[in-house]
Amino acid sequence: MLLCGIAINALVGAIIGLMTYMATDDQLRNLTFWSLGSLTGAVWPAVFVMVTVVGVLIIVGMFLSQLLNALLLGESQAFHLGVPVEQLKRGIVGLTAAAAGSAVAFTGMIGFIGLVAPHLARLLVGPDHRYVLPLSGILGAILLVSGDLLARTLIRPSELPLGILTALLGAPFFLWLLRNNKSL
């Protein structure tokens, strides 16, 4: 799966490079902000699509929380408890790809929120997915809005692309989490 991801990344990177090469000045500015991650281009139709996607994922996530809790015991233990482990793993990968893909399509690469928020939630409420999943969403939204506010006000009158800010703040924090909590 890792090699497949690398190949897809190379293909999409080439397509983005081609789009950058052929873009007009206005398109180039929009493409730059998209590639660096920004909420600047948020429009109501995009918000409607994201609310729909997030709503479906919340519902599905809550239905899967017990199965995910069983998976915390290990794959063989979850299998013996009746969890369809392979189907669950494929479904989770598919749902995660759909969520990430729809978010990136509208906002560009805003990294580390999806890594930091669940780990913070786990530190706050423990490993139970019934609590981790909704709290991760709430913390992710808080981090995203706070980061956007900071990105819009930090170097006024310009706007710092949100993806740059989240990477500058999120990467060191995530490394700190990894260093101080070996169970992540």
Calpha distance 53→102 (Å, rounded)? 8
Residue 138, pLDDT above cutoff 70: yes
Of 121 and 159, the one with more pLDDT:
121
Is 173 contained in some domain? Answer: yes
pLDDT digits (tens, 9 = 90+) for 79-131: 999 999 999 999 999 988 888 888 888 888 898 898 899 999 999 999 999 99
pLDDT at 86: 96
pLDDT at 183: 56
pLDDT at 54: 84
Is 75 contained in some domain? Answer: yes
The pLDDT-based confidence of 180 (bands split at 50, 70, 90) is confident
CA atoms within 13 A on the CB side of 152: 9
Is 104 contained in some domain? Answer: yes
The pLDDT-based confidence of 139 (bands split at 50, 70, 90) is very high
The pLDDT-based confidence of 182 (bands split at 50, 70, 90) is low
Treating both helix axes as pointing N-terminal to C-terminal, what angle do 129-153 and 44-71 enclose, rounded to 10 degrees?
A: 140
Is 175 contained in some domain? Answer: yes
- Tokens representing 95 are 């749902």
Could you list the residue range(s) of the whole structural domain that residue 96 is in?
37-180
Is 1 contained in some domain? Answer: no
Of 134, 150, 143, 142, nearest in space to 60 by CA:
134
pLDDT at 55: 87
Tell me the CATH number at 127: 1.10.3470.10
- Tokens representing 21 are 């090469």
The pLDDT-based confidence of 154 (bands split at 50, 70, 90) is very high
pLDDT at 181: 73
Is 66 contained in some domain? Answer: yes
| pTM for the structure as a whole | 0.83
The pLDDT-based confidence of 40 (bands split at 50, 70, 90) is confident
Is 3 contained in some domain? Answer: no
Is 17 contained in some domain? Answer: no
Treating both helix axes as pointing N-terminal to C-terminal, what angle do 162-180 and 129-153 enclose, rounded to 10 degrees?
A: 140
CB 150 within 8 A of CB 166: no
pLDDT at 83: 95
- Count of the separate structural domains present in the chain: 1
